[in-house]
Amino acid sequence: MTANLPASNSSPPPWAAVDPLGEALHGLHMSGIFYTRSEFAAPWGLALPALPQMLMFHVVTAGEGWLEFDGHEPTRLLPGDFILVPHGQGHRLVDTPGGDCAGLFDLPREALSARYEVLRHGGDGATTQMICGAVRFDHPAAQRLVALLPRLIRIEAAHSPHRDWMTETLRFMADEVRALRPGGETVVTRLADILVIQAIRAWIERDPAAQGGWLGALRDKQIGRAVTLLHREPGRAWTLAALAREAAMSRSAFAARFTALVGMPAMQYLTQWRMQHALTRLRERGVSVAALAEELGYQSEAAFSRTFKRIIGIAPGAARRQNNAETPAAS
């Protein structure tokens, strides 16, 4: 049972009404876990552990190397390349395919701040410099999008349609890394976040896998509008008829089209969205389960908790404790 609630205080961008996919990308705010300036000299090899629910990235600012996955052909890394590992899968960075590797957390690192460090590793041969990092998207729309991404996204600055922009951004980032000017950490981390978003945008534009499913639904003029409204106002007392009116469709046509594009009925999607939204909000300090139940339109905390446990698999209190315990450390 739900009740009408006012819309969220966060205003969507002015273009969102005609660009649901753009609004979804607009909301991809990241939490940076750590960033590392890596300085390698051949022979070198670095093994990065799996970081579940994280997106890991590497920007090659000088030199070259290789990225290796188990069961995947080695990927050559050249200056200007941006590599995104969307699912936090463990992998290796090496100067030569098949080379020996040291574990990331087994090597000494110079901490410049709580989230930014310098790693130096290798011998006395040719040098390679990278900026590496791990970030997390907390918003449920972002988590749904990340689940659709491939194991690896590589953006080659030399062949990108946004080559000039990418090249200048990478050059600016490399300059900041070398100079270590005051505020350089902030500049580098912000640029890295922008590059992560750009890599996801590039995949959406070029990969056929991004044309269907949830992303395809956002591109659909009518279903995209309905999905966007559910995202903006999860606590509103939505009905199938109300959503169909917003999409300017008959109830039956809307229901069939929504299910065909999104992969589940509209009201099931709404319930899942509410619970994913709740899971995100539980990471915030001072948010009570009772207040969250009211925010999402539930008339009792007990009804909300039952739905949360059915969808998420654990009670809201347990989810809050788990979220607090899962924040990874950089050392």
Residues of the chain with CATH 1.10.10.60: 212-325
Q: What is the token pair recorded at 163?
A: 């080559």
DSSP 29-75: -EEEEEEEEEEEESS-EEEEPP-TT-EEEEEEEES-EEEEETTEEEE
User: What helix, strand, coil percent values describe the chain, rounded to 5?
Assistant: 45, 20, 30
CA distance 261 to 329: 39
Q: What is the CA radius of gyration of the chain?
A: 22
Which of the two residues, 10 and 192, has the higher pLDDT score?
192
Give the model confidence (pLDDT) of 191-225 as tens digits. Answer: 777 778 788 878 877 777 777 778 888 888 899 99
2 pLDDT tier (thresholds 50, 70, 90): very low
> Has residue 47 got a pLDDT over 90?
yes
Across the range 94-111, mean pLDDT stands at: 92
Closest CA to 131 of 99, 176, 182: 176
Contacts of 30 (CB under 8 A, 6+ apart): 135, 136, 137, 193, 196
Which of the two residues, 113 and 155, has the higher pLDDT score?
155
Across the range 267-290, mean pLDDT stands at: 88
CA distance 240 to 227: 12
Segment among 95-104, 113-122, 299-308 with least mean pLDDT: 113-122
Does the 30-207 domain belong in CATH 3.40.50.300? Answer: no
DSSP 211-273: SSHHHHHHHSHHHHHHHHHHHH-TTS---HHHHHHHTTS-HHHHHHHHHHHHSS-HHHHHHHH
4 pLDDT tier (thresholds 50, 70, 90): very low
Which of the two residues, 126 and 61, has the higher pLDDT score?
126
What is the pTM (predicted TM-score) of this model? 0.71
Residue type, 81: D
Does the 212-325 domain belong in CATH 1.10.10.60? Answer: yes
Number of helical H runs and strand E runs in the chain: 12, 12
pLDDT at 325: 58
Check: CB of residue 287 under 8 Å from CB of residue 298: no
Measured in residues, the chain has a length of 331
Strands 91-94 and 65-69: antiparallel
Segment among 54-58, 139-143, 199-203, 285-289 with least mean pLDDT: 139-143
Contacts of 17 (CB under 8 A, 6+ apart): 225
Helix axes 266-281, 221-232, angle to 10 degrees: 40
Residues of the chain with CATH 2.60.120.280: 30-207
> Has residue 236 got a pLDDT over 90?
yes
